[in-house]
């Protein structure tokens, strides 16, 4: 599991991208926990989409949990709530 705390924006999105890429490389299934995210911007959405697309290409499964508040709103506006596997 990859847990995110605080803001997920242009500054922290690349760090999450690295963490998710490494987790997907090392594990058959990866869950990204967003329950402690205070701010979620476009960089966060792009990072989750990249992980979602990478997972099946490498035979892995990627899920997201803890979606709430602004995160839920951004995922709904971008329709990623219909694309990502939310648990």
pLDDT per residue over 2-51, tens digit each? 999 999 999 999 999 999 999 999 999 999 999 999 999 999 999 999 99
Residue 36, domain extent: 2-82
Do the domain assignments include residue 42? yes
Rounded Cα–Cα distance for residues 78 and 20 (Å): 20
Domain holding 45: CATH number? 3.30.750.24
The total of structural domains in the chain comes to 1
CA separation for the pair 65, 20 (Å, rounded) = 14
Rounded CA-CA distance 7/53 in Å is 23
Please report whether residue 65 resides in a domain: yes
The three-point CA angle 69-75-78 to 5° equals 140
Q: Locate tokens 């847990």: which residue?
A: 3
| Model pTM score | 0.93
CA atoms of 27 and 40, how far apart (whole Å): 25
pLDDT digits (tens, 9 = 90+) for 45-80: 999 999 999 999 999 999 999 999 999 999 999 999
């Amino acid at each position: 599991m990859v847990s995110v705390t605080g803001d997920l924006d242009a500054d922290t999105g690349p760090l999450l991208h690295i963490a998710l890429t490494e987790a997907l490389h090392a594990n058959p299934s990866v869950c990204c926990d967003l329950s402690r995210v205070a701010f979620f911007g476009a960089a966060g959405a792009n990072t989750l989409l990249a992980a979602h697309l990478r997972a099946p290409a490498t035979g892995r499964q990627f899920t997201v949990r803890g979606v709430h508040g602004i995160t839920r709103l951004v995922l709904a506006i971008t329709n990623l709530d219909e694309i990502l596997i939310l648990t």
